[in-house]
Structure 1
Amino acid sequence: MLVRLLYASRASSTLTPELIEGILAQSRQHNPANGITGILCYSGDIFMQVLEGGRDAVCELYNHIARDDRHSNVRLLSYEEIQERRFASWTMGQVNLAKVNPSLLLKHSEKPTLDPFVGSGAASMALLDELIATASVLGKAC
């Protein structure tokens, strides 16, 4: 059974390019073997990530992330059984929201900043869908 999980967290320390690259490299190394695809968005000290795959693999990865000392305030925004993946082309796509037009963020939230802690999981997923539609996702691995 396939599931999709969306969560948000805050970085425990300053987000540096090296920290982001380390997280992405780890994801891209381990996710294919576990059948997990997804996308990671980040801005300021906030992470927002979608994980898709088998229920056990996704739940185990989410629990690992919740214990990871690079993350704090890990919050589950959405969890659902799915018929097909939205993010099947990415072992772990990435979006640096500092490089996205603020009007796109404003379309889905109260302010032109990423803050999934105050919005709904549906609004956060709609933002991710639009980021894909506008080709804002990097790291595509077909």
Structure 2
Amino acid sequence: MLVRLLYASRPTETSPCDLVQSILQASRSHNPAHGITGVLCHTEQVFIQVLEGGREAVNALYGQILKDTRHKDVMLLDYEEIQERRYPSWTMGQANMARINPSTVLKYSPLPVLDPYTMSGKMLLSLIDELMATASIVGRT
């Protein structure tokens, strides 16, 4: 059974550039063997990550994320059983949300500033879909 999990968190470091690279590197080495795909969206203040794969593997990875000291304020925003993956060829895609036009964010959010804690999971997934369609997400197999 396939599931999709969406969560938000805040980085514990004040300048998370190295942290983002560390998460991407770990994802790209861990995920293929566990059948996990997804995307990491980030700003200096927040992470939004979507994980897809088998229920057991995704739940186990989320359990590790909850214990990861690189994150704080981890909040589950959406979890669902799915028929197919949205990101089947990405071990972990990436989008720097700080570079996204505020009007794009405003389509899905009450304010033109990305704050996943005030948005529904479905709206965040719609925003990520739009970023995919406009090639704002860098995919990597």
Please tell me the TM-score bracket, short chain as reference. Answer: over 0.9
Q: In angstroms, what is the RMSD of aligned CA positions?
A: 0.9
TM value normalised by structure 1: 0.96
**In structure 2, distance between residues paired with 1:15 and 1:117:** 20
SS at match of 1:74: strand
Structure 1 segments, 4+ long, off by >4 Å, are none
Percentage of matched positions with identical amino acids: 58
Question: What are the ranges of 5 or more consecutive residues in structure 2 without an aligned counterpart?
Answer: none
- Which amino acid letter does the alignment assign opposite residue 139 of structure 1? G
Offset at residue 16 of structure 1 (A): 3.0
- 1:57 paired with 2:38, answer no
What letter corresponds to residue 28 of structure 1 in structure 2?
R
- Measure the CA separation in 1 of the matches of 2:82 and 2:11: 29
Query: 1:100-142, CA deviations, whole angstroms, 9 ceiling, x for partnerless residues?
Result: 111111111011121110111111111111111111111332x
| Cα deviation, residue 41, structure 1 | 0.3
1:132 maps to amino acid: M
Give 1:31-42 correspondences, 5 Å limit.
Answer: 31-42=31-42
- 1:94 maps to which residue? 94
Superposed, 1:1-142 pairs within 5 Å as 1-141=1-141
The runs of 5 or more residues in structure 1 that have no matched partner are none
